[in-house]
């Protein structure tokens, strides 16, 4: 077991390397068997000193998962909710960080790439497989339908 001072030092290093949310830091501190009061003090101090910032984390997470991992809004929002971030903050970050045209082009490119890799006996089966794939990535069903219509026109 480590003491509170050592935990503080480790967490400042941890938070300096990448963006983290208070929930992640709290969980890590709890795994080190620190008392609840110590965990609360460390998290509050990290927030006060700018090592932790929920809004900054939320925006960075949305940007990364959207641009690099090609996740849809639904999956991003669900993961952020699991990290106990406020729903209003999540919605604002999604609105401000996700460009609609870029979002549709990402989805369209994903569907085209997946379509080439899939084997289906008919159009109905292909459509079902692509829909499941896109929904699994967190894209909205109506967005998938719009992209499907565009793919059909090509």
Amino acid 12: pLDDT: 96
Amino acid 2: pLDDT: 87
Q: Could you read off the pLDDT of 94-137 as tens digits, one per residue?
A: 999 999 999 999 999 999 999 899 998 898 999 999 999 999 99
| Sequence spans of domains, the chain | 4-48, 54-97, 100-153
CA distance 110 to 114: 6
HEC letters along the chain: CCCHHHHHHHHHHHHHHCCCCHHHHHHHHHHCCCCHHHHHHHHHHHHHCCCCCHHHHHHHHHHHHHHCCCCCHHHHHHHHHHCCCCHHHHHHHHHHHCCHHHHHHHHHHHHHHHHHHCCCCCHHHHHHHHHHHHHHCCCCHHHHHHHHHHHHHC
**pLDDT band at residue 147 under the 50/70/90 scheme:** confident
Q: Does residue 153 carry a pLDDT above 70?
A: no
Can you give the pTM of this predicted structure?
Answer: 0.89
Amino acid 123: pLDDT: 87
Cα end-to-end span (Å), the chain: 62
CA distance 142 to 149: 11
């Amino acid at each position: 077991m480590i003491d509170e001072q050592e935990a503080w030092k480790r967490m400042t290093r941890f938070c300096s390397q990448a963006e983290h949310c208070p929930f992640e830091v709290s969980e890590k501190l709890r795994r080190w068997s620190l008392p609840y009061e110590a965990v609360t003090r460390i998290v509050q101090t990290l927030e006060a000193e700018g090592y932790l910032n929920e809004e900054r984390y939320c925006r960075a997470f949305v940007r990364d998962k959207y641009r690099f991992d090609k996740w849809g809004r639904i999956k991003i929002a669900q993961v952020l909710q699991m990290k106990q971030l406020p729903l209003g903050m999540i919605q604002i970050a999604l609105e401000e960080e996700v460009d609609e045209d870029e979002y549709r082009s990402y989805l369209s490119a994903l569907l085209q790439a997946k379509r080439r890799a899939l084997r289906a006996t008919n159009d109905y089966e292909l459509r079902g497989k692509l829909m499941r794939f896109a929904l699994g990535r967190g894209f909205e069903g109506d967005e998938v339908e719009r992209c499907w219509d565009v793919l059909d026109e090509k």
